[in-house]
């Protein structure tokens, strides 16, 4: 039997984190599968950090990131380069993860070449096209083009079914970020040997903050910064740690409001292992990130989401996160509650609704069966139940 060639495309740091365990699981099935890793480097610096951490060397690196390129420019570059790359590699299946421009444009390129697409983390929906932007559109459009839908949770599967996706093409695997975290949490780590070694983390209750999404820029980000300034004024035992995104539109606002505030540490983006341990050591996590909404419940940390709605409502439905928006008063109120009410704090700690650490093995088994043309591809008994 000829081995099937599986191309895995990675563009950003979150894609690399979530696809790394899939790459490892597929390479363990090298008798059936030939795995080719393609990097678009949509996020060059942050992508390289993660690939290095997981010891993954892309077989092909398109290096398409350019300073301040628009979504139109990025989409065009991915389409053009992926058309040639996929034609040269000629894979039997393209695997994409998530909702980035890399994912959508690569799926279009594969569709034009009639290469089937398997979508990891399929079925996430906010049900508002422009929120988050452009991710909601990217994930919906990718679902139209995909043949294999690897949904992380039963709710994601339900979203796909409601859109008319055939049930026999949807497989609930759990989220691969739980697999990645399970591996990395066993890696020895010390803050004393990290870029933030001088921060007195052990002397404070740490609030870890990330906010950088396009829809958060402008007044919303200003409101968040003002809220953080008020929190450290009210609570002398609290330290805010804020890795500031490289986007100059983010940095300008954050630095203007928070750069000289005592007990607010504005740090450069750190590698994922350091960030993971920051999350593990945080008292509260405040974010507008999608991935952190999965990571915080995995670490059993109370999570406050700086959005109006979320495509990952599983933690919210389980009481493990709150969607608090970007009103300064609301942010201050919700953080203050968790800092003063132990019962409210403990109520936001529970079992992980996103995965059990076996998602990548489920995906690899499914792809292996696909490569051998075995049916069914996946038994419902083996699905992640949530």
* Whether residue 135 lies in the annotated active site: yes
- Percent of the chain with pLDDT strictly greater than 90: 80
Query: Does the active-site annotation cover 121?
Result: yes
Q: Which of the following is catalytic: 245, 263, 312, 362?
A: 245
- Average confidence (pLDDT) over 91-118: 97
Active site residue 167: no
Is the pLDDT confidence value at 312 over 70?
Answer: yes
Mean pLDDT of the chain, nearest integer = 93
Per the residue annotation, which of 121, 294, 334, 365 is the catalytic one?
121
> Measured between alpha carbons, how far is 118 from 217 in angstroms, rounded to an integer?
33
Distance CA 235, CA 243 (A): 21
Q: Give me the pLDDT at residue 2, please.
A: 81
pLDDT at residue 290 above 80?
yes
What average pLDDT does this structure show over 44-62?
A: 86
Task: Report the SS3 class of residue 238.
Answer: strand
Q: Which residue has the higher pLDDT, 92 or 74?
A: 92
Question: What's the pLDDT score for residue 48?
Answer: 83
Q: Which range, of 67-81, 196-210, 331-345, 348-362, averages the lowest pLDDT?
A: 67-81
Topology at the third CATH level for domain 4-175+355-382: Rossmann fold (3.40.50)
Using the predicted structure, report yes or no on whether residue 345 has a pLDDT greater than 80: yes
What residue spans define the domains of the chain? Answer: 4-175+355-382, 192-347
Catalytic site residue 245?
A: yes
d(CA 156, CA 165): 12
Per residue in 234-276, pLDDT (tens digit) is 999 999 999 998 788 889 999 999 999 999 999 998 989 999 9
At 354 the pLDDT is 95
Q: Exactly one of 139, 149, 212, 263 is catalytic; name it.
A: 212
- 90-94, 197-201, 215-219 — which one is most confidently predicted on average? 90-94
Question: Of all helices (H) and strands (E), which one includes residue 205?
Answer: strand 205-210
The catalytic position among 29, 44, 205, 214 is 214
Of residues 158 and 52, more confidence is placed in 158
Angle at 185 between CA 358 and CA 208, to 5 degrees: 115
Q: Residue 377 has which token pair?
A: 């591809």
Superfamily of domain 192-347: Glycogen Phosphorylase B; (3.40.50.2000)
> Does residue 214 carry a catalytic annotation?
yes
d(CA 374, CA 225): 54
Strands 264-267 and 321-323: unpaired
User: Catalytic pick from 13, 43, 77, 135?
Assistant: 135
Nearest to 124 by CA among 84, 162, 85: 162
**Mean of pLDDT values over 174-202:** 93
Which member of 15, 99, 179, 311 is catalytic? 99
Question: What percentage of the chain has pLDDT greater than the value 70?
Answer: 98
Question: Tokens at residue 343, please?
Answer: 């019962």
Assess whether pLDDT exceeds 90 at residue 182. yes
pLDDT, tens digit, 9 for 90 and up, residues 4-33:
999 999 988 899 999 999 999 999 999 889
pLDDT band for position 1 (50/70/90)? low
Known active-site residue 311: no
Mapped onto helix, strand or coil, the DSSP state of residue 204 is coil
Dihedral in degrees, nearest 10, Cα atoms 86, 89, 90, 96 = -50
Burial of 283 (0-12, 13-18, 19+ CB in 10 A): middle
**Distance between CA 323 and CA 14 in Å, rounded?**
21
Q: Establish whether domains 4-175+355-382 and 192-347 are of one fold.
A: yes
- If phi > 0 it is left, if psi is from -120 to 50 it is alpha, else beta; for residue 189 that is beta
pLDDT number for residue 235: 98
């Amino acid at each position: 039997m000829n081995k099937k060639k599986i191309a895995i495309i990675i563009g950003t740091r979150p894609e690399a984190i979530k696809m790394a365990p899939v790459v490892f699981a597929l390479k363990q099935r090298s008798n059936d599968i030939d795995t080719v890793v393609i990097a678009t480097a949509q996020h060059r610096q942050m992508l390289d950090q993660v690939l290095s951490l997981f010891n993954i060397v892309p077989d092909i690196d398109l290096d398409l990131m350019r300073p301040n390129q628009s979504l139109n420019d990025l989409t065009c570059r991915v389409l053009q380069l992926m058309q040639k790359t996929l034609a040269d590699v000629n894979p039997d299946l393209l695997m994409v993860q998530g909702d980035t421009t890399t994912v959508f444009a690569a799926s279009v390129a594969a569709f034009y070449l009639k290469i089937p697409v398997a979508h990891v983390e399929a079925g996430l929906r906010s049900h508002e096209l422009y929120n988050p932007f452009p991710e909601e559109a990217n994930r919906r459009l990718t679902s139209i083009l995909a043949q294999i839908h690897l949904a992380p949770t039963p709710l994601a599967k339900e979203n796909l079914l409601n859109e008319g996706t055939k049930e026999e093409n949807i497989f609930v695997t759990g989220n691969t970020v739980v697999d990645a975290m399970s591996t990395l949490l066993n890696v020895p780590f010390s803050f004393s040997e990290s870029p933030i070694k001088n921060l007195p983390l052990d002397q404070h209750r740490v609030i870890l903050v990330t906010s950088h999404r396009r829809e958060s820029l402008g007044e919303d980000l200003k409101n968040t910064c003002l809220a953080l300034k008020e929190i450290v004024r009210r609570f002398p035992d609290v330290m805010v740690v804020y890795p500031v995104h490289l986007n100059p539109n983010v940095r300008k606002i954050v630095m203007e409001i928070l750069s000289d505030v005592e007990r607010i540490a504005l740090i450069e983006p750190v590698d994922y292992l350091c960030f993971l341990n920051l999350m593990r050591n945080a008292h509260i996590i405040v974010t507008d990130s999608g991935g952190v909404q999965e990571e915080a419940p995995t670490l059993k940390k109370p999570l406050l989401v700086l959005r109006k709605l979320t495509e990952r409502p599983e933690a919210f439905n389980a009481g493990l996160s709150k969607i608090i928006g970007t009103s300064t008063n609301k942010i201050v109120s919700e953080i203050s509650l968790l800092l003063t009410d132990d019962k409210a704090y403990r109520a936001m700690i529970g079992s992980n609704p996103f995965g059990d650490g076996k998602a990548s093995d489920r995906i690899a088994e499914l792809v292996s069966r696909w490569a051998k043309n075995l049916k069914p591809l996946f038994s419902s008994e083996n699905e992640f139940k949530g």
